[in-house]
Amino acid sequence: MTAIVNVFLKEGVLDPQGKAAHHALDSLGFEGVSDVRIGKQIVIKLDTDDKSKAEAEVKEMCETLLANTVIEDYTIEIV
Amino acid sequence: MTAIVNVFLKEGVLDPQGKAAHHALDSLGFEGVSDVRIGKQIVIKLDTDDKSKAEAEVKEMCETLLANTVIEDYTIEIV
């Protein structure tokens, strides 16, 4: 199974990478952009075929390693 | 409208960030992980309501700034 994990800075946490991209897009003449936020997408290939087990395991991976839950939120999708 | 852009290293391009995460997961005792790849997810808020115009504009943003098309692929989703 494949788990797709999206890790994003929480609302209200400054996103300098997104701000830099927004500014660069403005400089390049792209108008009508009101906000840019940049997060991580982590694709994990798992050996298991048990969806609920996979989801629980990936949640633990997020809590212990993949996301900094003080400033980041994450979503998990199993496909 | 909101555009969700996923930027990933192409197949065959070494992903050291993914390799490091994979190794760390192994060290933490997570077994059954066969591969980890880490990409960027960029969320762009656009003022326009025209979906096809938004898609064309975001494609141009990817080609000029957001993705390095020599080593990276990207997908665009307009929601």
pLDDT in tens, A27-54: 999 999 999 999 999 999 999 999 999 9
Q: Cβ neighbours of residue B56 under 8 Å, at least 6 residues apart?
A: none
The reported pLDDT for the residue numbered A25 is 97
CA distance A13 to chain B (A): 15
Q: Where are the beta strands (DSSP E) in B1-79?
A: 2-9, 33-46, 72-78
**3 state DSSP class of A71:** coil
Q: Cβ neighbours of residue A20 under 8 Å, at least 6 residues apart?
A: none
CA distance B13 to chain A (A): 15
The reported pLDDT for the residue numbered A47 is 94
The reported pLDDT for the residue numbered B13 is 96
Determine the residue of chain A that is closest to B58 in CA distance.
Answer: A30
User: What does the alpha-carbon distance between residue B7 and residue B58 come to, in Å, rounded to a whole number?
Assistant: 12
Q: Please answer yes or no on whether B42 and A35 come within 8 Å at the CB atom.
A: no
Ranges of chain B whose pLDDT falls below 70: none
The reported pLDDT for the residue numbered B49 is 92
Q: Cβ neighbours of residue B67 under 8 Å, at least 6 residues apart?
A: B5, B7, B73, B74
The reported pLDDT for the residue numbered A23 is 97
DSSP summary character for residue A9: E
Backbone angles phi, psi at A19, to 5 degrees: -60, -40
Q: Please answer yes or no on whether A64 and B28 come within 8 Å at the CB atom.
A: yes
The reported pLDDT for the residue numbered B56 is 96
The reported pLDDT for the residue numbered A21 is 97
Q: Please answer yes or no on whether A32 and B40 come within 8 Å at the CB atom.
A: no
Which residues in chain B have Cβ-Cβ distances shorter than 8 Å to A57? Answer: 30, 32
User: What does the alpha-carbon distance between residue B34 and residue A46 come to, in Å, rounded to a whole number?
Assistant: 6
Specify the residue for token string 């996979």.
Answer: A54
User: What does the alpha-carbon distance between residue A35 and residue A19 come to, in Å, rounded to a whole number?
Assistant: 8
What is the CATH T-level fold of the domain B2-78, as seen in this structure?
Answer: Mth169; Chain: A , (3.30.1280)
The reported pLDDT for the residue numbered B65 is 97
The reported pLDDT for the residue numbered A65 is 97
